[in-house]
Amino acid sequence: MVISPHTPLPVQAGYGLYLACATALWFCLVAWLFSRGRVRAGFSRMGHWFDRLTGAVLIGLGARLALSEIG
């Protein structure tokens, strides 16, 4: 959607490779971070607040979407 259909195929492949590597690096970082005992302990202690915040954000987005379809 963002890349023009006229973008050369090697450039498109480069974008795809970059995104695949960046995504893999991100998930490796997240896995490494959550394997640390201190981070795990903190998340165990405060994780319910994270879940509540995430739920509130998703409910807000759903309400906004529903209201935009009505109006």
The 3-class secondary structure across the chain, one letter per residue, is: CCCCCCCCHHHHHHHHHHHHHHHHHHHHHHHHHHCCHHHHHHHHHHHHHHHHHHHHHHHHHHHHHHHHHHC
Q: Model pTM? A: 0.61
What pLDDT does residue 24 have? 98
* Ranges of the chain with pLDDT below 50: none
What pLDDT does residue 61 have? 97
What pLDDT does residue 31 have? 95
Q: What is the pLDDT of residues 48-62, one digit of tens each?
A: 999 999 999 999 999
What pLDDT does residue 22 have? 98
